[in-house]
Amino acid sequence: MVATRILVVEDENVIREMMAEALSGAGFGVDQAADAEMAEALLEADGYSLLVTDIHMPGRYDGLDLAERTHALKPDMPILVVTGRPDALGRLDGLGLQTSALIKPFRLAELVTAVRGLVGPDAADMRPL
């Protein structure tokens, strides 16, 4: 039984699919979005326990904007931000949100560990990586 649903937001299809597959394989329910606008529409539905979002994406707003909007809508939802540009994380510090960050490139096992750290180790089937 899947206990936790995660929304993965990443504009690079291959990266998004790999992240989703790793999280699904670890026992999480995973939905995907290619940009912040699509993600925001999905987040309006109940049921997500965590948002995993890239920072830099095409569209009207980026992953940090999405994090702020998500926090306004669901203040208790943790957010994991991923980026290939660590210089962008300075803006994250000022948001005051329940966030964590991973710098690309990262191992998929690191992603799963970070997610488990945010939602709790019992939130999914503890399948080996």
Q: Are 80 and 109 in contact (CB under 8 A)?
A: no
55 close to 63: Cβ distance less than 8 angstroms: yes
Environment class of 82 (CB within 10 Å of its CB; exposed 0-12, middle 13-18, buried 19+): buried
Query: What is the predicted pLDDT for the residue at 129?
Result: 44
Question: What residue type is assigned to position 12 of the chain?
Answer: E
- Weakest-pLDDT range from 21-25, 68-72, 89-93: 89-93
Q: What is the pLDDT averaged over residues 16-34?
A: 96
CATH class of 5-108: alpha beta
Q: Count the residues in the chain.
A: 129
- Top pLDDT among 11 and 45 is at 11
14/125 Cα distance (integer angstroms): 24
Where do the structural domains in the chain lie, given as residue ranges? Answer: 5-108
Average pLDDT value for residue range 100-118:
94
**66: nearest Cα among 105, 35, 91:** 35
Q: Is the dihedral of CA 110, 23, 3, 7 positive or negative?
A: positive
103's enclosing H/E stretch is strand 99-103
Query: Mean pLDDT across the stretch 19-48?
Result: 94
Instruction: Report which residue type is found at 116.
Output: R
pLDDT level of residue 3 (50, 70, 90 thresholds)? low
Say whether pLDDT at 124 is over 50: yes
